[in-house]
Amino acid sequence: MLSYPPRELWPERIYTLPELSYPATTNACYELLDANLALGRDSAPAIHFGDAVITYKQLADDVTRVAGALRRQGVEPGNCVILRLLNRPQFVSTFLALLRIGAVAVPTAPLLRARELNAIVENAEPVMLISEADLWDEVEKLDSTSLRRISVDNLSGGPPYRECAPTAKDAPAIVLYTSGSTGVPKGCVHSHADLLAVCDSYARYILNPTPSDRFGGHPTLAFAYGLGDLLLFPLRFGASTVLLDRFSPPAFVECLHKHKVTIAFCVPMSLRLMMKQVPELKSATSFLRLAISAGETLPPSVYTSWRDLTGVEVLDGIGSTEMLHIFISARPGRSRAGATGEVVPGYEAIVIDEQSMQPVPDGTPGLLAVKGPTGCRYLRLTDQQQRYVRNGWNVPGDIYIRGSDGFFQYQCRNDDLIVCGGIKIGAPEIEGVLLEHPAVLEAAVVGSPDELHGMVPKAFVVLQNAYKPSEELIQDLQDFVRAEMAPYKYPRKVEFVQELPKTSTGKIRRSELRQSEFRVS
C-alpha cells in the first residue's frame, strides 16, 4: 500500500468553490464516464483517434471489460499498476478501469529508459506493469523478476466489471512522477477528488468547456499536463478528446484541422515549430477558439506572433505535477504578453521572501507559494515533502513578481531544474549518467538559453587525464546519455573545462555556471 508523508507535512487544502464539495464516497471513473451515460450521452463521441470515433457507450464497454480483466489478474483496490502507454484509446480505457476498481494508476512517460523505470518500480512497489508492444523493449530490461508484465492487448475476455468500486474521495487514484532538482524520481500522489478538482477549477472557470468542444494536444497523457488536457477535462464536461500518438508539427496541425479541434494544448516550443514549419497554419487552426501554453513560460514574442498569425488567443499558465495542473493562468480576453496571468479560481497564490517566508510587496521578486484544492503529497519522500511544503503552502521553486493588478510575471527557477521544451529535467540525473562514462572525471549540468527550446541542458565536463577534448567525444557523451536516459534529457551543449567552480567545502557552484550562460547569451 502507498505510504504518505506525515499528515502534519501536508499542505493546507482550501475549498472555496461550491463545485469542489464532493461526496465522501467518490469514484472519479463514475464522474468522468458513467455520469455522461446517465445524461444520455451514449452515442456522443468521447475519443477521436485517426479515423476512429469511440462513443461514450463504446468507451464504457472497453473500460468495464478491462476492469474485469484486471480484477481476474488479481489487481486489488489500493494496488499500484504502472502504465507504459502511448496517447491512444487504450490509455484512456486502462486508466479509467484502474480507477473503477479502486486501484492506483502510475503512468510513465513513453521515452523513459529502464534505469529510470527501475527507480519508479522501487518507489511505487507496483503489482503489475501494462505496456504497449511499441514500448516493450525497455520493459524487458527491468531489474525486477517478480513484477508481472502484461501487454495491453491481453486485457480482454471474461465478464466485465460494471459497478464502480466505492472509493473514498481522498483515496489515492494516481501517482505521477516528476524529475526534481535532486535527480530522484518523485512520485506525486493524487486522489479521486483531486482529479475532479482540477476540472472544476481551472477547466471550468478558465476554459468554459461545453460538450461541443474538442480537446486536442501533443503532451503525453503520462504527464499531469496531458492527463488533464486530453482525458480529465473533456470527459468531465461531456466533450471529446482528439488523440495523436506521434507528434510532429505538420501531423499535429493536420490533426487540429481534420478533427476540428476547438481547444489545443501546447508548449512554447511546439507553437514556434508550427509557425516555422506549417505555411497553412492560419487556415488549419480556423476551428480553434483557444490555444493553451504551459510547461515553461511563454515568451512575449511567441505570444504575439501566434496571435498575429492565427488570430487565436494563446493562454499561458503555470502548474506542477505536485499541484496536478495549472493554478495561475491567463484568461480569455485578459491575456498579456510576458505575464503568466492571474490566480485560477479555487486557488490562492502569494510571492514570499525565501528567508522569512513572508509576502513581499507587489513588484518585488520572490518565491511563488500556492495553495488550493490540490497539493503536494510525495510518495515515501519526507525530506522532499518538507522542502516543497512550507507553512502549509506549496512552493514550486519559481521566482515571480506579482503586479498590483493581480497579474503574475515569471522571472526564473531557483534550483537546478531545467525546463526544456516544456519538459522538466533534473540536472543531477544527467550528471550521474555522465560520470559513468570512462572519459569523465567531473560533470555539472545547468540550463542554457536556447531559441527553440527555451532552455536546454548544458554539460560542463572535466576529463580524465587520458582523454582529450574533441567533437567526436562530445558526440560520444551525448550518445551515451541518450542510451541510458530518455532522449530529451541528453546535454545538447557540452563544454570541456579544466576545473569546475566550487565552494570551500567542495560543492560545485552551479549558480556560477548558470549565470555565465546567461551573461554569454
Helix (H) / strand (E) containing 194: helix 192-198
Give the whole-angstrom CA distance, residue 186 versus residue 118.
13
Mode of pairing for the β-strands spanning 172-179 and 185-191: antiparallel
Name the residue with higher pLDDT: 249 or 509. Answer: 249
- Give residue 477's Cα distance to chain centre: 27
Average pLDDT over residues 35-53: 98
For the residues 263-282, what does the mean pLDDT come to? 92
| CA pair distance 81, 100, nearest whole angstrom | 13
pLDDT computed for residue 354 by the predictor: 85
What was the pLDDT predicted at 181?
Answer: 43
Q: Kindly state the helix (H) or strand (E) to which residue 503 belongs, with its residue range.
A: none
Lowest mean pLDDT segment, chosen from 131-140, 277-286, 498-507: 498-507
pLDDT at 57 over 50: yes
Q: What is the pLDDT of residue 440?
A: 93
Q: What is the pLDDT of residue 3?
A: 72
| Dihedral pair phi/psi, residue 20, rounded to 5° | -90, 5
* Options 3.10.25.10, 3.40.640.10, 2.10.70.10, 3.40.50.12780; CATH of 7-402: 3.40.50.12780
Neighbours of 276 (CB within 10 A): 11
On whether the CB atoms of residues 213 and 234 are closer than 8 A, the answer is yes
pLDDT band at 503 (very low <50, low <70, confident <90, very high): low
Q: What integer is the mean pLDDT of 209-220?
A: 96
Residues 56/211, Cβ–Cβ less than 8 Å: no
Residue written as cell 530529451? 488
pLDDT at 455 over 90: no
pLDDT of res. 367: 94
Query: For residue 278, what is the DSSP state?
Result: -
Report whether 178 contacts 321 (CB < 8 A).
yes
- The burial of 415, by beta-carbon neighbours within 10 Å (0-12 exposed, 13-18 middle, 19 or more buried), is given as middle
Domain ranges (residues) in the chain: 7-402, 417-520
pLDDT band for position 49 (50/70/90)? very high
* CATH architecture for residues 417-520: 2-Layer Sandwich (3.30)
- Check residue 182 and give its pLDDT: 47
pLDDT above 90 covers what percent of the chain? 79
Q: What is the pLDDT of residues 118-127, one digit of tens each?
A: 999 999 999 9
